Amino acid sequence: MIPATRNGLLLIGVLFHLVYLLSIFDIYFRSPLVHGMTPHRIPLRAPAKRLVLFVADGLRADKIFEPYHNKTTDTTDELAPFLLNKLRTQASWGVSHTRVPTESRPGHVATIAGFYEDVSAVTKGWKMNPVEFDSVFNESRHTWSFGSPDILPMFAHGASDKSKVDTFMYPPEFEDFSGNGDRLDTWVFSEADRFFDRAAVHGSELNQMMHQDQIVFFFHLLGIDTNGHGFKPYSPEYLNNIRHVDRGIKRLVERLEQFYSDDGQTAYVFTADHGMNDRGAHGDGHPDNTRTPLIAWGAGVARTLPAADGQTAPGHTAFSRPWNLNAFERKDVNQADIAPLMASLIGIPLPLNSVGTLPLAYLNATDEFRARAALVNALQVLEQYRVKHDQKQQTEMFFKPYMPMHQPTNSPEHILARIRQAIDLGQYAKAEAECSLLISLCLEGLRYFQRYDWLLLRSIVSAGYLGWIIYSLLFIFKKYVLPPAGPDASKDTYRSSSSKLIAVIGCLVFIAFSAMFYRQHSPAMYYAYVVFPAYFWTEIVQQLPLVQQVAADYMRSSVRWRPLAFIAAYVVVLEALVYAYFDRRVYSVAFALLAIVWPIVVSPKLRRRHSKLLLLWTCFCLLTSVFTLLPVERNDHLGLVMAGGALITISGFVAWHYSPQFVLPPPGMTGKQAHAAIALDRLIILIETLLVGIATVLGPLTSKTTETRGHLPRAHQLACWAVLIVSILLPLLHGSRLNQAARDQHYLYRLVTIYLAFATPFVLLTVSYESIFYFSYSIVLLLWLSIERALYFERAEDQLLAPAEQTRLSSLLTPQTSLSSRNAGRAESVLKLGRKLELSDLRTGIMFLFFVNVAFFGTGNVASLASFSIDSVYRLITVFDPFIMGALLLFKIFIPFFLVSAVFGVLNRSLELPPFSLFLFVLSTTDVMTVNFFFLVRDDGSWLDIGMSISHFCISGLFVLFTIVLFVLSHALVGSALIPSPPAQASSSSSSGIKGSKKQR
């Protein structure tokens, strides 16, 4: 049944949204891995005995290939002369295109294991293996790996025989973003030298192992990524690190050739796991993140012959024209194609889960070897298709095979027969073409089975979201809109007389779906997906009398168009907020409309009374509208940081100056004790303001120090942490809930202290215009609160007072008139009448939703957290620590939400609404947006679009949890604050008026 309390509804809502948040991973992003395949290898002698893999973490393609113009010396040279010389004389090369998420673990998995890790792996942790998978290292005879403790262990632990993968790693604390990251690569090259010194001892076990075939050396070079994060990809540190890597690889290749007496049986592959955008971030699908270099040379690798003079070789686009490499064919690959290439070079089985296509253009081998390598590639992908086909056929009740694979001429058996016949007849080109066809069909078939349950699951999830919206709205109507159904409050007279029969039918529907899922061996989450719509719709049908009552009240309304217009406008605004996820300029337009239209549509009486308030509203709305027009990818700008901090500091001094009007003594305290308490409250404001000023100076000063390419000074780091912690804890320890001398504080005092307390950490974590946004956004929130209070009081005045009384009360609202305690109590008694939710409260709800979205979009882009620069945390920590850095980054993102929650908590009490009623209304209706994003989730096309669609759905789906957190925060921050009626507020200059005010509970 519909729960009797809001807590019951919230519990159901939380469980529902948590479960349905996972639905996109079961529908759109099921793990591509299957098990039980037979390994395949090329039945010919491999062209190379050993493989050397270099991965330059965070290196984007253009930075290594394009000529570098040194502005200081006015010369142009190459950052990687050794690698580019190999490209021109011995190598095949191109751009390796990565996929989202462009992070280190997924990039290395694609390169070394040959498959694109499903996005849901992010929920299981990317540092170890969330699922078991095969890799080139696992198939090798032995692998020695050197580099980062963040990458190497996952391939060592993922090996079937742990002893076949040796790792050499530097300590985690080496990953310090404040210093020059090339020391990480120096460590790798130095450790490799020490390793070869040990291996040079003839007759040693290590020497013998290194002279076996099918061995791999892996060098993970993290310095470029570290310098990119710390100093940006256009910085001298990033570019010089490319030179450093090039010199290190040159020395290492010479050492390898010396060790093996230059036997010519070593294959080399140089690539990167992901690129990096100009802000020093990665993770999303921006081309700077998805385009990485690939250079391969050595045994078994084809040499790219230069084109004729003046001719442009194939493969080049506008992207590569500035590189001066037009004479050499550019052979682009997908990142997963590198794994089958490496396996083919040293003659090991292809990784079992690889979906890469062997780039035959990179192979220097006989035509027969190329054809047979292509056949092995096709067989390995076909194995995955057959396993997936058989699994579905065994479990599905009404199995439908992938029909293109069952055509008479396109069945796997027929294609394989044609391939083998072509190889036997020496028609190798034809065999390669047939292999390409088979691989393409198998990959499409795998994708078909990935989408096999789409129609059913999307229908269930859609029914669940629609059911939740109606279910929760019925609760709101029942509790906060309609009068009690009858004299017996314990009896639910809004319930259908056939409730038991409806409940039985609902149970039977759930049992039928559960039986089908059990027959098909479906995941446990499928049962959870179906239980919610079964429950919601059963309850909705049982509450048909409530629906009839709502309809009857609507039909009795004298103005029927007004509710429909409000609802239509509300839905339009929700859809506009959906569009705003793709284009932040929507918020600028909305702010402009609020600035101009709202002061016009209010009553003339309100305009006369609050002309200055409305003027400030217009000015600050227009100012705030600017921020969503600014680019989210911003560089460090210390001038803007200091300007924002200065504005906040000045506003703090202004608040301190006017604080006597809203700083109240504790109840029952008079004389010196009251003056001491007031002085302490004012001192808190002053201290918080001074802390903001210190942060305004300390943050840029620390940034200047770290920009000298040295480590973060310990004294600066401790000072930043101290200022941050003191600023946050001071108002909490002084607040009415935690103070032993508990007392009530005016809501303006609480809001000012909250604003200043969070301003300090926000300024410390600011790299550009964010602190100016914080100042402007906070003022807009306070003005919104003031206008809403004025509107509500005016409406209450018009509805409840006689004309003569309205005249008297209007005089009380005049700021020049002193307000006596008696009159204050008379005015407040108007507001103390309880009330239900009204149609006009829709505006307040949608305004709250609007400001919540602006809190996120004001300085960032919801498409990716990569739009929030990691530079923000460098004043507090520079040693790589994902947990602390991520926590600080999220804390900065959440700070504006603390403000909006506090303001909305005050507003909810000011409007005398039942607690949580507006929150519940917003919570119920925002799933209109979630359903939009659910159907906009993409698993194909641009990887930028895929990443954006996932982020959109997850953020919208988590809004219910976020709303609850905001509600709890509002009570924690302003729960016991004094909220006087508007007349008392208007006459706050009168001490008698303040003392005569009463708290709203």
Radius of gyration of the chain (CA): 34
pLDDT value at residue 101: 77
pLDDT value at residue 921: 82
- The phi-psi region of residue 373 (left if phi > 0; otherwise alpha if psi is between -120 and 50; otherwise beta) is alpha
Give residues with Cβ within 8 angstroms of 293, minimum separation 6.
56, 59, 61, 64, 65, 93, 95, 96, 270, 271, 272
| One-letter amino acid for residue 72 of the chain | T
Name the more confident of 830 and 959. Answer: 959
Chain center to CA of 462: 23
Chain center to CA of 939: 17
Q: Is the dihedral of CA 311, 313, 315, 317 positive or negative?
A: negative
| Section 987-996 average pLDDT | 34
Query: Around Cβ 23, how many Cβ atoms within 10 Å?
Result: 23
| Section 791-795 average pLDDT | 83
Write out the two tokens for 218: 């892996």
Write out the two tokens for 251: 């020395």
Locus of tokens 């469980």: 15
pLDDT value at residue 864: 43
pLDDT at 927 over 90: no
For the stretch 31-48, pLDDT in tens is: 667 788 888 999 999 999
Quick one: which of 620, 617, 576 has its CA closest to 857? 576
Percent of the chain at pLDDT > 70 equals 82
Q: pLDDT-derived band of residue 999, with 50, 70 and 90 as boundaries?
A: very low
The CA-based diameter of the chain, rounded to the nearest angstrom, is 110
Chain center to CA of 273: 20
Percent of the chain at pLDDT > 90 equals 39
Write out the two tokens for 173: 């604390």
pLDDT value at residue 423: 95
pLDDT at 767 over 90: no
Name the more confident of 448 and 349. Answer: 349
Q: Are 975 and 999 in contact (CB under 8 A)?
A: no
pLDDT at 933 over 90: no
pLDDT at 126 over 80: no
| Section 204-226 average pLDDT | 94
Residues constituting the chain: 1001
pLDDT at 520 over 90: no
Locus of tokens 């909810």: 908
pLDDT value at residue 668: 60
Q: Compute the distance between CA of residue 757 and CA of residue 730 in angstroms, rounded to an integer.
A: 8
pTM for the predicted model, two decimal places: 0.71
Q: Compute the distance between CA of residue 544 and CA of residue 380 in angstroms, rounded to an integer.
A: 57
Q: Are 97 and 285 in contact (CB under 8 A)?
A: no
pLDDT at 891 over 90: no
pLDDT value at residue 832: 43
DSSP β-bridge partners for residue 94: 294
Name the more confident of 3 and 182. Answer: 182
Say whether 286 sits in a helix, a strand or coil. Answer: coil
Chain center to CA of 381: 33
For the stretch 961-972, pLDDT in tens is: 777 776 776 666
Best mean pLDDT range from 88-92, 904-908, 910-914: 88-92
Q: pLDDT-derived band of residue 805, with 50, 70 and 90 as boundaries?
A: very low
Angle at 984 between CA 982 and CA 985, to 5 degrees: 60
Name the more confident of 976 and 164. Answer: 164
pLDDT at 490 over 70: no
| One-letter amino acid for residue 752 of the chain | V
Angle at 470 between CA 467 and CA 475, to 5 degrees: 120
Phi and psi (nearest 5°) for 329?
A: -55, 130
Q: Compute the distance between CA of residue 888 and CA of residue 890 in angstroms, rounded to an integer.
A: 5
Q: Which residues of 729-741 are buried (b: 16+ CB within 10 A; e: fewer)?
A: ebbeebbbeeeee
- The phi-psi region of residue 331 (left if phi > 0; otherwise alpha if psi is between -120 and 50; otherwise beta) is beta
Query: Around Cβ 146, how many Cβ atoms within 10 Å?
Result: 23
Q: Compute the distance between CA of residue 314 and CA of residue 304 in angstroms, rounded to an integer.
A: 11
Question: Alpha helix (H) ranges present in 425-453?
Answer: 428-450
| Section 507-536 average pLDDT | 90
Strands 142-147 and 333-334: unpaired
pLDDT value at residue 734: 60
Write out the two tokens for 708: 């000298």
For the stretch 555-594, pLDDT in tens is: 776 667 777 888 888 888 889 988 888 888 999 999 999 9
What's the mean per-residue pLDDT of the chain? 82
pLDDT at 883 over 50: yes
DSSP β-bridge partners for residue 51: 216, 267
pLDDT at 185 over 50: yes
Angle at 328 between CA 327 and CA 332, to 5 degrees: 135
pLDDT value at residue 181: 84
pLDDT at 669 over 70: no
- The phi-psi region of residue 377 (left if phi > 0; otherwise alpha if psi is between -120 and 50; otherwise beta) is alpha
pLDDT value at residue 821: 38
Phi and psi (nearest 5°) for 74?
A: 55, 45
Query: Around Cβ 882, how many Cβ atoms within 10 Å?
Result: 10
Q: Compute the distance between CA of residue 271 and CA of residue 174 in angstroms, rounded to an integer.
A: 23
pLDDT at 897 over 50: yes
Query: Around Cβ 11, how many Cβ atoms within 10 Å?
Result: 12
pLDDT at 804 over 50: no
Q: Are 151 and 174 in contact (CB under 8 A)?
A: no
| Section 858-879 average pLDDT | 63
Quick one: which of 31, 134, 140, 39 has its CA closest to 383? 39
For the stretch 288-343, pLDDT in tens is: 999 999 999 999 999 988 988 878 999 999 999 999 999 999 999 999 999 999 99
DSSP β-bridge partners for residue 805: none
Angle at 97 between CA 169 and CA 167, to 5 degrees: 15
Angle at 319 between CA 316 and CA 324, to 5 degrees: 65
Edge-to-edge strands, sheet with 266-271: 165-169, 142-147, 215-221, 50-56, 266-271, 291-298, 92-97, 333-334
pLDDT value at residue 38: 87
Name the more confident of 114 and 172. Answer: 114
pLDDT value at residue 996: 35
pLDDT at 815 over 60: no
Strands 165-169 and 142-147: parallel
**What one-character DSSP code corresponds to residue 93?**
E
pLDDT at 19 over 70: yes
| Section 461-473 average pLDDT | 91
Quick one: which of 751, 623, 774, 771 has its CA closest to 696? 771
Write out the two tokens for 225: 């990524």
Write out the two tokens for 775: 């100042």
For the stretch 705-759, pLDDT in tens is: 665 555 667 777 788 888 888 888 887 666 544 443 434 677 888 889 889 999 9
| One-letter amino acid for residue 803 of the chain | P
| Section 910-922 average pLDDT | 77
Chain center to CA of 529: 24
Phi and psi (nearest 5°) for 458?
A: -65, -35
Quick one: which of 347, 354, 335, 337 has its CA closest to 215? 347
Q: Compute the distance between CA of residue 843 and CA of residue 828 in angstroms, rounded to an integer.
A: 24
pLDDT at 826 over 50: no
pLDDT value at residue 330: 96
Q: pLDDT-derived band of residue 930, with 50, 70 and 90 as boundaries?
A: confident
pLDDT value at residue 813: 40
Q: Compute the distance between CA of residue 534 and CA of residue 486 in angstroms, rounded to an integer.
A: 29
HEC profile of 144-199 = EEEECCCCHHHHHHCCCCHHHEEEEECCHHHCECCCCCHHHHHHHHHHHHHHHHHH
Q: pLDDT-derived band of residue 3, with 50, 70 and 90 as boundaries?
A: low
Q: Compute the distance between CA of residue 973 and CA of residue 736 in angstroms, rounded to an integer.
A: 10
For the stretch 262-290, pLDDT in tens is: 788 999 999 999 999 887 888 777 889 99
Give residues with Cβ within 8 angstroms of 818, minimum separation 6.
987, 990, 992, 993
**What one-character DSSP code corresponds to residue 914?**
P
Q: Compute the distance between CA of residue 229 and CA of residue 282 in angstroms, rounded to an integer.
A: 9
| Section 775-780 average pLDDT | 95
Q: Compute the distance between CA of residue 951 and CA of residue 915 in angstroms, rounded to an integer.
A: 31
pLDDT value at residue 383: 93
Q: pLDDT-derived band of residue 981, with 50, 70 and 90 as boundaries?
A: low
Q: Compute the distance between CA of residue 624 and CA of residue 773 in angstroms, rounded to an integer.
A: 7
pLDDT value at residue 123: 45
For the stretch 401-440, pLDDT in tens is: 999 988 878 889 999 999 999 999 999 999 999 999 999 9
Say whether 366 sits in a helix, a strand or coil. Answer: coil
pLDDT value at residue 873: 77
For the stretch 72-100, pLDDT in tens is: 777 889 999 999 999 999 999 999 999 87
Strands 266-271 and 291-298: antiparallel
pLDDT value at residue 811: 44
Residue 709 burial (C-beta neighbours within 10 Å; 0-12, 13-18, 19+): middle
pLDDT at 169 over 70: yes
Q: Compute the distance between CA of residue 928 and CA of residue 574 in angstroms, rounded to an integer.
A: 7
| Section 624-645 average pLDDT | 82
